[in-house]
Amino acid sequence: MKIDVYDTTLRDGSQGEGISFSVEDKVKIARRLDAFGMDFIEGGWPGAVPKDTEFFARLRAEPLRHAKLAAFGSTRKAHATAATDANLIALLQAETPVVTIVGKASAWQVTEALRVSLEEGLAMIADSVALLEGQGREVIYDAEHFFDGYKMDPDYALRALDAAAESGASVLCLCDTNGGTLPHEIYEIVTAVRQRFGGGTIGMHPHNDADCGTANALAAVRAGATQVQGTINGYGERTGNASILSIAAALRLKMGLDCLTNEAMRDMTRLSAFVDEVANVTPNPKAAYVGRNAFTHKAGLHADAIAKAPRAYDHIEPTDVGNVRRLLVSEQAGSATIAQKAADLGYALDKKSPEARAVLSEVTAREHEGYAFEGAEASFELLLQKATGRYRKLFDLLAFRVLVERRAGDAEPITEATLRLRVGDEEFLTVAEGDGPIHALDGALRAGLLRFYPQLSRIRLTDFKVRVVTMGEGTAAKVRTIVESTADHGATWSTVGVSTNIIESSYQALVDAIEYGLLKESE
Ligand SMILES: [Zn+2]
């Protein structure tokens, strides 16, 4: 039995706080989801949202290749005719092969929130589905508040499904609208629905309010649902919709069901990052399957086991979902981590070798001083180069001076950095002004080094973070600076510096950044 995957990132997902897609964003995401292999893509609410109307027009001009495009809307207004309902007309005008129509399946919601009679509630569903189906649409009925409704009045909830099924809906999608239902309840209720609608397709639309979104989708599938709805990265109102990628990964990789393809599975980490990028959302490092930390190991004991048997502490092979296993360098790390990490970077280092022990004791000593190499892998690699004799010194800093001056009337202070450098046998002074000390130091280093290392023009400082690290009591506070850099060909790297002086700490991180970039550029 094939399980269909229905993505609603562009409709329900766009309800999430901080998410606002332009028409262009939506088209880009729809095409990417299509290439990924989604079975259904819900694009939006035409009529209700003007930019969604435009989105559907764009996709009519250039239709999707694989996925069925769905337009979303609600049932007709109370005490009115379906054929003249503006919302339903807009749905038909979107000219999508699929229309998903939401209508209340909870008696309490019908009488208390909608304030119409139970019979009118059922007629609104039946009339709307019949109209759309009569116009040749494949109709999915989203049974709103189905589970809460079923718990209060099972008979009415099932009659709502009857109304949709008898009017021609091809999928009865059960919505856990408030997201509070638990997996065992989902299993029981979907089983009851299955018994009543033996042949029809049952869908599941979970929300994550009780942190059970994925579990609820899986419980529904075990009880006979064959369509699952969710969003990329779990975007959505409140705590979000269920993550469609987590659901699909569990169905295919763990439950062995026919759902997407292995190729799609290997594309999911990239898809997740792409959608975050377009939505301008900071990726969640702890996201299951696709997060940066999903297969990251820190403890030395784990790292040792992983070097011997890579799967020892991972629930699946990370490459199956397009992710990678990462080992963090940290104070707790043993020499096995160092050796593994070195191997990942292309350095053969036996964990029992003096070099590995030298790197370990250097990392441990530096971490004690407040360095953190977890977010600064380029600084770690430089340390590794020094320990293994592969390091080449490109320049020497003989002295630096940074002046910050603000006079009455100046909007911002002016910063000037002067460096005394040596490259080969040549000693010289170099100077630059900048917006703050890091910018001025960066400018002065570049001004001095560019004629020796023209490849420096392909490297840019893109970001820096400064934070205070609290050491033991009675010592001066230290400042840790992390600098992020990018090369024109797309590589990015981070470096770290620590000092009680913010300028010194920034300078260290900056020098590492430039040294690392130049060494890589000349490789
Ligand atoms: Zn929803």
Q: Which long-range contacts (CB under 8 A, 24 or more apart) does 14-22 make?
A: 14/44, 14/235, 15/236, 15/237, 16/235, 16/236, 16/237, 16/240, 17/237, 18/281, 19/235, 19/279, 19/281, 21/278, 21/279, 22/51
Q: Positive or negative CA dihedral for 106, 109, 111, 117?
A: negative
Gap from CA of 12 to ligand 1 centroid (Å): 6
384 has pLDDT over 70: yes
User: Region 437-451: what's the mean pLDDT?
Assistant: 94
Question: Helix or strand or coil: residue 17?
Answer: coil
348 has pLDDT over 60: yes
Gap from CA of 145 to ligand 1 centroid (Å): 10
Quick: pLDDT tens for 133-180: 999 999 999 999 999 999 999 999 999 999 999 999 999 999 999 999
The pLDDT of residue 330 is 59
Query: pLDDT: is 273 or 288 the higher one?
Result: 288
Quick: pLDDT tens for 67-109: 999 999 999 999 999 999 999 999 999 999 999 999 999 999 9
The pLDDT of residue 255 is 97
Give which of 358, 430, 347 is closest to 395, Cα–Cα. Answer: 430
27 has pLDDT over 90: yes
Gap from CA of 466 to ligand 1 centroid (Å): 40
Share of the chain above pLDDT 90, in %: 69
Task: Indicate yes or no: pTM above 0.85.
Answer: no
Question: Helix or strand or coil: residue 283?
Answer: coil
Burial tier of 522 (Cβ tally within 10 Å: 0-12, 13-18, 19+): exposed
State which CATH number among 1.10.510.10, 3.20.20.70, 3.40.50.300, 3.40.30.10 fits the domain covering 4-279. 3.20.20.70
User: Region 368-393: what's the mean pLDDT?
Assistant: 85
Residue indicated by tokens 């039995």: 1
CB 41 within 8 A of CB 284: no
Indicate the domain borders of the chain. 4-279, 296-365, 396-521
User: Region 247-253: what's the mean pLDDT?
Assistant: 98
The pLDDT of residue 327 is 74
Query: pLDDT: is 408 or 181 the higher one?
Result: 181
Gap from CA of 215 to ligand 1 centroid (Å): 16
Gap from CA of 13 to ligand 1 centroid (Å): 8
Specify the amino acid at residue 271: L
Gap from CA of 251 to ligand 1 centroid (Å): 21
User: Region 411-438: what's the mean pLDDT?
Assistant: 93
* Average pLDDT of the chain, as a whole number: 91
Gap from CA of 404 to ligand 1 centroid (Å): 54
Residue 463 parent element (H or E): strand 459-469
Quick: pLDDT tens for 446-467: 999 999 999 999 999 888 888 8
Q: CA gyration radius for the chain?
A: 29
The pLDDT of residue 465 is 84
Question: Helix or strand or coil: residue 229?
Answer: strand
The pLDDT of residue 448 is 95
Sheet containing strand 426-434, edge to edge, reads 396-405, 414-423, 426-434
Q: Which CATH architecture has domain 396-521?
A: 2-Layer Sandwich (3.30)
Separation of alpha carbons 41 and 57, rounded Å: 15
Question: Helix or strand or coil: residue 434?
Answer: strand
Specify the amino acid at residue 435: D
Give which of 75, 71, 70 is closest to 105, Cα–Cα. Answer: 75
User: Region 372-388: what's the mean pLDDT?
Assistant: 86
Query: Which of 52-56, 126-130, 326-330, 507-511 has the least mean pLDDT?
Result: 326-330
Specify the amino acid at residue 122: L
Which structure tokens are listed for 149? 């409704």
Residue 51 parent element (H or E): helix 50-61
Burial tier of 49 (Cβ tally within 10 Å: 0-12, 13-18, 19+): middle
Burial tier of 346 (Cβ tally within 10 Å: 0-12, 13-18, 19+): exposed
Query: Which of 26-40, 113-127, 217-231, 285-299 has the least mean pLDDT?
Result: 285-299
